[in-house]
Every structure is written in C-alpha cells, then in structure tokens.
Amino acid sequence: MDKNKTPLHIGLIMDGNGRWAKKRLMPRSYGHNAGMNAMIKIAEHAKMRGVKYLTVYTLSTENLNRPQEELDGLYGLFRKYFNKNIQKLYKSGAGVKVIGDISVLPDDVQNLLADGEKNSPENSGFTLIFAINYGARSEILRAVNLAIEKGEKLDKGAFDSLLYTDGIPDPDLIIRTGGEMRLSNFLMYQAAYAELYFTDVLFPDFGKAELDKAIEEYSKRERRFGKI
Ligand code: FPP
C-alpha cells in the first residue's frame, strides 16, 4: 500500500460498548471496559501503521447526562488508564493530549489527566488524544467567545489556534463503529474534509484487522479538497 496514503490523523467514534455488553447480559460498564482494551490495541496498531495522531471520543458533552453509575464507571476507567496503562504508551515514545472541558470531572481525574499530558515525551511521533466532555459546538462557541475577548477580527489560522485542537492537523479519516452514520458533535469544524468510514462492528470487537480495513478503504479514496 502507498505509504503516503496513510492517514496522519484518525478520529475514532467508539460506539457500541453498551450493545456489546447487553448481548452478553452484562452491565454497560463491562462494555466500556472491553472498549478501553480495544482502544489500547487500536492505538498501538495505529502507531505501528504510521498514524501520528489518534483522537478517541471517550465522553461527549451530551454523554454527561448519562446515569451517574455509568459516568462513575468511565471515570474509573480514566483512573485505570492514566495510572497504569499509560506507562506502556510512554515507553513506546508516544504521548497523550486531552481536549474538552474537563473542569466538571472529579478533581483526582482532572489531576491525572493533567499529569498524563505533562509527563508525555516531547516531540513524540504518536499522540493519543482523548476527547473528554468534548463537543464541537461548545468548542466553537468557546473559541468565538475568546475571539470576542481579543476584540479583533481573526483569520483562519488565528481562529484555529483558539480551538482545543490547536497545533494538531485536521483529521484525515474519521471512523465510527456501532452502525450509526453521523458525527454526533465530534470534531465538526476540523472534519471539513475528513474521509468518513462507518462500520457495523461494535467497538469492543473493532480489532487490528478492522483498522487495517478502514485504512485500506481510505487509501482508495480520492481527496480533492474542493478542487477538480
Ligand atoms: C459509546 O458507546 C461509548 C462511550 C460513551 C464511551 C467510550 C469509552 C471507551 C471506549 C473507554 C475509553 C477509554 C478510557 C481510558 C476511558 P455506547 O456505550 O453508547 O454504546 P451503545 O450505543 O451500544 O449503547
């Protein structure tokens, strides 16, 4: 496969954990735990394939309305990942970044996420970006309000620097598992020219071969960015 056709940045909407658990007569938290394990494998494989940025949609602004029990389960997974699993990522030379408004999360989780970013190796060749309490509409509104505070008209570059994704190239490919075909408020501004890939596979079942399939499909797409 043409190396140039490897997406530099993949966005991943990890949908289907709840249904995956339900099929096994297990609670939703069981599905999220399986989803975290799938995410870890996908991040390793993406890095191996030459992808430089992987943004994972772990919690949307809308998800915050879910039952407290489910949210507590997700916060538990953040604790697990950022206390333990992250070491393997660091050892491989990769780092993490967080996008979204994390100020509403429990204090210890906020501290763990901040440490996770702070301790990331500089100039890492791969960055795993966690979108947490992230929503594109909130992100854009936040940037607009920051622009108003500045009191001057902005060009695209200046506006981009007010987004959470400042310094991160736009996603080339957005993958959504779980059968739905929509963006659900994920990177809507940055996804202007992203290729979209949808699969019915539930996220915990989304393995290396599934990622290869998505990259293969991406490599066959002709990207014109509005030109002929
Ligand atoms: C959507 O599926 C998924 C989420 C709201 C959470 C995704 C989180 C993970 C995969 C774990 C991430 C890793 C860390 C470190 C926290 P859903 O449960 O809404 O699925 P459904 O549509 O089948 O109900």
Instruction: Evaluate: CB of 116 within 6 angstroms of ligand 1.
Output: no
Q: What is the mean pLDDT of residues 181-194?
A: 97
d(CA 35, ligand 1 centre) in Å: 6
Residue 222 is predicted with a pLDDT of 87
d(CA 110, ligand 1 centre) in Å: 19
pLDDT over threshold 70, residue 131: yes
Which atom of ligand 1 has the smallest separation from the CA of 77?
16
Q: What is the mean pLDDT of residues 53-74?
A: 96
Instruction: Evaluate: CB of 16 within 6 angstroms of ligand 1.
Output: yes
Kindly state the percentage of the chain with pLDDT values over 70. Answer: 98
> Which residue has the CA at smallest separation from atom 7 of ligand 1?
58
Catalytic-labelled residue, pool 33, 63, 133, 185 = 63
Q: What is the mean pLDDT of residues 189-208?
A: 98
pLDDT over threshold 90, residue 154: yes
Contact 189, 212 (CB under 8 A): no
Residues 6+ apart with CB under 8 A from 46: 10, 54, 126, 211
- Return the structure tokens found at 60: 């949307």
Between the alpha carbon of residue 205 and those of residues 14, 41, 138, the distances in Å are: 11, 11, 31
Under the banding of pLDDT at 50, 70 and 90, the label for residue 2 is low
Which atom of ligand 1 has the smallest separation from the CA of 66?
5
pLDDT over threshold 80, residue 90: yes
> CA-CA distance, 105 to 11, in Å (whole number)?
23
pLDDT over threshold 80, residue 67: yes
Neighbours of 204 (CB within 10 A): 24
Instruction: Evaluate: CB of 100 within 6 angstroms of ligand 1.
Output: no
Q: What is the mean pLDDT of residues 171-193?
A: 98
pLDDT over threshold 80, residue 180: yes
Under the banding of pLDDT at 50, 70 and 90, the label for residue 124 is confident
Instruction: Evaluate: CB of 12 within 6 angstroms of ligand 1.
Output: no
* Continuous segment of H or E residues that includes residue 11: strand 9-13
pLDDT over threshold 90, residue 122: no
Q: What is the mean pLDDT of residues 18-28?
A: 97
As a whole number of angstroms, the longest Cα–Cα distance in the chain is 56
Helix axes 28-48, 68-80, angle to 10 degrees: 40
DSSP 158-216: HHHTTSTTTTSPPPSEEEE-SS--S-TTSSTTGGGG-EEEE--S-GGG--HHHHHHHHH
Residue 3 is predicted with a pLDDT of 52
- Return the structure tokens found at 99: 């996008």
Neighbours of 128 (CB within 10 A): 26
pLDDT over threshold 60, residue 166: yes
Active site residue 170: no
Active site residue 15: yes
> CA-CA distance, 93 to 120, in Å (whole number)?
8
Secondary structure E strands in 40-120: 53-60, 95-99
d(CA 56, ligand 1 centre) in Å: 10
pLDDT over threshold 60, residue 40: yes
Instruction: Evaluate: CB of 18 within 6 angstroms of ligand 1.
Output: yes
d(CA 18, ligand 1 centre) in Å: 7
> Which residue has the CA at smallest separation from atom 24 of ligand 1?
18
Q: What is the mean pLDDT of residues 42-53?
A: 98
Distance of CA 155 to the CA centre of its chain: 26
Instruction: Evaluate: CB of 13 within 6 angstroms of ligand 1.
Output: no
Under the banding of pLDDT at 50, 70 and 90, the label for residue 39 is very high
> CA-CA distance, 2 to 95, in Å (whole number)?
26
Residue 107 is predicted with a pLDDT of 98
